[in-house]
């Protein structure tokens, strides 16, 4: 029994609260956790400070993502695996938590297929096929490594950077990384912590969604929330019992999400 927590990049860019880390310590007494973090805004800020302008593309379905060339892939790894990951590990260790920071490239933790082509919509609303750059789709997770760490009482903290079959650095979406890890570990649940309480429709928080309701809702969501809901759907289809979207800014966010308090819960029931 394990829970996967995805800490959104929107939370990191505004500063992660001490209460979040304290709540992690409390929850670890109930069951083991694996943390996955984002940090796209920080990557963009540092890349542009280094003089590397960041480009974003839009898919035909309206999904916005970073275009990752080779230089951006190196910056992405530096910021995710170096700065953000280690800042989170330090905050956890201050509370006496045995946190281990890992990038997806470590010990083949996350292996991904490099996308050869990307289909995008340009400014004139035309469909174009462009080089896939250094982005990937995860196909395997080193569960032996994660289970060994969990069995030994460690808390894995994972950066969403994957390794290709050609040993290249690949940018993978953090939400999808959390979903893949949850699926491969047969996790009980996956919790996505972001900067809002969950999914809203007509200014009303949707507290519960079935899998079919979640699929029907997808076209009505913006990019960030769409990725989280897609990841919840994928997790449930692969055996995870529930996906939860909740605010990481609330008091005791993980404990409250576990109780289904003030969040959106997606399940097969």
Q: Is 7 exposed, middle or buried (0-12, 13-18, 19+ CB in 10 A)?
A: buried
Place of tokens 């605010």: 247
Q: What is the pTM of this model?
A: 0.94
pLDDT band at 98 (very low <50, low <70, confident <90, very high): very high
62 pLDDT more than 80: no
Residue 257 CA: distances (Å) to CA of 19, 132, 158, 195, 247: 14, 36, 21, 14, 9
Vertex 209, ends 204 and 213: CA angle to 5°?
105
Residue-level pLDDT at 123: 80
Greater confidence (121 vs 73) lies with 73
**What token pair was written down for 178?**
């959390």
pLDDT band at 111 (very low <50, low <70, confident <90, very high): very high
CATH number at residue 108: 3.40.1160.10
Interatomic CA distance for residues 115 and 135, integer angstroms: 6
Q: What is the pLDDT of residues 127-159, one digit of tens each?
A: 989 899 999 999 999 999 999 999 999 999 999
pLDDT band at 225 (very low <50, low <70, confident <90, very high): confident
Q: How many domains does the chain contain in total?
A: 1
44 pLDDT more than 80: yes
Q: If you count DSSP H runs as helices and E runs as strands, how many of each does the chain have, helices first?
A: 10, 18
Range of the domain at 92: 3-267
């Amino acid at each position: 029994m394990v829970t996967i927590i995805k800490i959104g990049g929107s939370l990191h860019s505004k500063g992660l609260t001490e209460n979040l880390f304290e709540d992690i310590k409390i929850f670890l007494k109930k069951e083991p956790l694996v943390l996955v973090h984002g940090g796209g805004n920080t990557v963009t800020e540092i890349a542009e400070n280094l003089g590397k302008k960041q480009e974003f593309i839009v898919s035909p379905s309206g999904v916005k993502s970073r275009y990752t060339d080779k230089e951006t892939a190196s910056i992405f790894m530096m910021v995710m695996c170096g700065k953000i990951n280690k800042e989170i590990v330090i905050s956890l260790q201050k509370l006496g938590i045995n946190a281990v920071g890992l990038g997806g490239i470590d010990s083949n933790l996350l292996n991904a297929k490099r996308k050869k082509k990307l289909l995008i919509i340009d400014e004139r609303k035309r469909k174009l096929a462009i080089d896939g750059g250094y982005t990937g789709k995860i196909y395997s997770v080193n569960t032996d490594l994660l289970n060994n760490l969990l069995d030994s009482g460690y808390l894995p903290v994972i950066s969403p950077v994957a390794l290709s079959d050609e040993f290249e650095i690949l940018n993978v979406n953090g939400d999808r990384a959390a979903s893949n890890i949850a699926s491969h570990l047969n996790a009980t649940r996956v919790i996505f912590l972001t900067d809002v309480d969950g999914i809203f429709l007509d200014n009303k928080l949707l507290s519960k969604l079935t899998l079919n309701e979640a699929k029907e809702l997808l076209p009505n969501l913006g990019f960030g929330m769409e990725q989280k809901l897609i990841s919840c759907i994928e997790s449930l289809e692969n055996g995870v019992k529930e996906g939860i979207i909740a605010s990481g800014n609330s008091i005791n966010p993980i404990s409250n999400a576990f109780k289904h308090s003030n969040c959106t819960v997606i399940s097969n029931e």
